[in-house]
Structure 1
Amino acid sequence: MRIGELSRRTRIPIRMLRYYEERGLLAPRRTPSGYRHYEEADVGRATLVSSLIRSGLPTRLILPLLRDDQAPPATGGDTGADEGELVALFTAELDRLDSRIACMSLSRDAVRRHLRLRTGR
């Protein structure tokens, strides 16, 4: 599929899909005329990348996550970090996400209580 179709199916702007490619997060095949050609699996991959970015995960950490199915790189890949640094970065990111989830859960519960008081549900 071409980039416009991938954009429509994922609701990710074409500009962002090009950015994902630039960062190595998507790797479309190129036709002889230079058009990008995406596979069906790229729909899920682009959606995952978008979700990870929206959650605040830096793109330098997304690439190692996407490569988890492959053999891990010896020096942390193109993140510029060695394995110990990556572990520290992912540990800090996990703590940040846990904190955001706890905060959002409190907010959700407050909204839920408010709705119950107003609607009896």
Structure 2
Amino acid sequence: MRIGELSKRTGVSPRSLRYYEEQGLLTSSRSGAGQRHYSDAEVQRVSLIRRLFDAGMSSRVIATVLPCVETPSDPGVVELAFATMTRERDRIDADIARLIETRDALDELIRGNSRHRAELSTAPEPVARST
């Protein structure tokens, strides 16, 4: 199938598909006219690549993990993929912890602002001076 068909079947833009190829995440064959052609198996591969991007992985990390899909019986590849995914999960956990700290700080600011707003709403209006 050509790039437009793969794009339609996966919901991934042709531009992104070309990027995946540039990064070594996806392969295609070329016609005599230079058009990209993909196998049906690439639909599942693109779906996996999307899920990995959605999980916050970079194309560099994804390139490390994908060989596990291609050669699942190679212990070295499996171990490398496991170590990479574990590192990524730890990175995401650290990001989540930082976001929770940031949210908690913002919640404190919101509580302070709410108290201040309440004080302002009960304060008497200033008396206008006449000149």
TM-score normalised by the shorter chain: which range applies? 0.5 to 0.7
- 1:54 equivalenced with 2:25 (yes/no): no
Unaligned runs of 5+ in 1: 74-82, 104-121
| Aligned CA-pair RMSD | 2.6
Report the CA distance between 1:50 and its aligned residue: 1.2
Change (3 A) 1:24 1:96: same
Distance 1:94 1:61 in 2: 12
Q: What's the TM-score once normalised by structure 2's chain length?
A: 0.59
Distance 1:29 1:99 in 2: 40
Alignment of 1:1-121 (within 5 A): 1-68=1-68, 69-70=70-71, 71=74, 72=76, 87=83, 89-97=84-92
Structure index of larger Rg? 2
Off by >6 Å, runs of 4+ in structure 1: 99-103
Report the CA distance between 1:96 and its aligned residue: 3.4
Q: What's the TM-score once normalised by structure 1's chain length?
A: 0.63
Alignment coverage as a number of residue pairs: 91
Unaligned runs of 5+ in 2: 100-131
Distance 1:42 1:2 in 2: 11
Report the CA distance between 1:38 and its aligned residue: 0.4
Can you list the C-alpha shifts for 1:44-79, whole angstroms capped at 9, x where unaligned?
001110111122101111112110132447xxxxxx
Distance 1:15 1:91 in 2: 30
Question: Secondary structure, in 3 states, of the residue corresponding to 1:5?
Answer: helix
Report the CA distance between 1:20 and its aligned residue: 0.1
The letter for the 2-side match of 1:95 is D
Distance 2:89 2:28 in 1: 30
The letter for the 1-side match of 2:89 is L
